[in-house]
Amino acid sequence: MGVFNLVFHHGGSFVQDGHTYYRGGSETTVDGRDEDKWSFFEAVSLVKDWGYEGFRLWRKIPQTDEGFTNVVDDAGAVEVAKHCMSCRVHDDLWVEHGVEDMMTKVLVPNVDDFSTSNGDDSTGDYVDASQCFNDSEEERVIDIEEEQFEQVEVVVPVSGNRVEIEGKSLRFKRCASKDPKKMKEKSKRDKVSVLVPKSVLGSCSKRATRKCEDKLEVVTIWELLYHLKISLK
């Protein structure tokens, strides 16, 4: 009997930009898995414990897999365990989300085309809005320059992964917590704060104009009340 360690990549998506890679999300290291008890459904159970439904598992064993290989049975999962044991390394499993039938084997994962992800599509401008959590209950986004983004509160979509901001369709991503209880708590929230590119919210001059108009409207109301008070006297 032997034990091995695995790294799960989840909460992100596959991207095609010359080659296929996994972008965003979280990494969770699972330690001390029993090689004799390891199976496909044990791997699936781990991912479900983090609050996910509807997904596929992918592996990429060096010198064995030419690219990402879909794992749909015990044989595919056991190969990962054997490679970990024989090479004494941590292997990886990637989680593809938004899948209806995980048992149907496919050759390649569904990917986002990076070259067109910042352009227009049939449903409007396509950009990423991210909301990430860590285990200290702090909400944060990693590797984001604050001056290029603004925090906006949005209503969590009932279904799907898009929200509307300034008339534009943004893809909403929620990174996972390693604690399944915290994942469930966060999934119950009606509203969340996301970081949105300032380009989506319009130019600074437009935002400043809106703020200025709001201020003028308030001043006008107070002036009206002031003059009304004088008239009553």
Residues 41 and 105 in one domain: yes
The alpha helices in 64-140, defined as continuous H runs, are: 74-87
- pLDDT of 139: 39
Q: Are residues 147 and 88 in the same domain?
A: no
CA distance 233 to 78: 89
Check the CA dihedral 188-191-195-197 and report its sign: positive
Q: Tell me, what's the pLDDT at 169?
A: 62
Whether 20 and 103 map to the same domain: the answer is yes
Distance (Å, whole) CA 178 – CA 199: 33
Domain extent, residue 151, equals 116-201
Same domain as 154, residue 142:
yes
- Based on the domain organization, do 82 and 176 belong to the same domain? no
Give the percent of the chain with pLDDT over 70: 50
pLDDT of residue 172: 57
Which comes out higher in pLDDT, residue 199 or 61? 61
Q: How many domains is the chain built from?
A: 3
pLDDT digits (tens, 9 = 90+) for 93-138: 999 999 988 888 899 999 876 544 444 333 333 333 334 333 433 3
Residue with tokens 């996910």, as numbered in its chain: 52
For residue 207, pLDDT over 90 is answered with no
**Same domain membership, residue 67 and residue 32:** yes
Residues 14, 95: one domain? yes
Q: What is the pLDDT of residues 139-180, one digit of tens each?
A: 334 344 444 567 777 776 655 556 677 666 665 555 444 455
Percent of the chain residues topping a pLDDT of 90: 34
Q: What is the mean pLDDT of the chain?
A: 71
Q: Record the tokens describing residue 169, joined without a space.
A: 């369709």
How many Å apart are CA 112 and CA 171, to the nearest integer? 11
What is this structure's pTM? 0.50
- Domain co-membership, 103 together with 17: yes
Q: Enter the tokens of residue 198.
A: 């300032």
Q: Tell me how far apart the alpha carbons of residues 23 and 21 are, in angstroms, rounded to a whole number.
A: 6
pLDDT in the model for residue 221: 52
- The one-letter code for the residue type at 131 is Q
- Residue 79 shares a structural domain with residue 26: yes
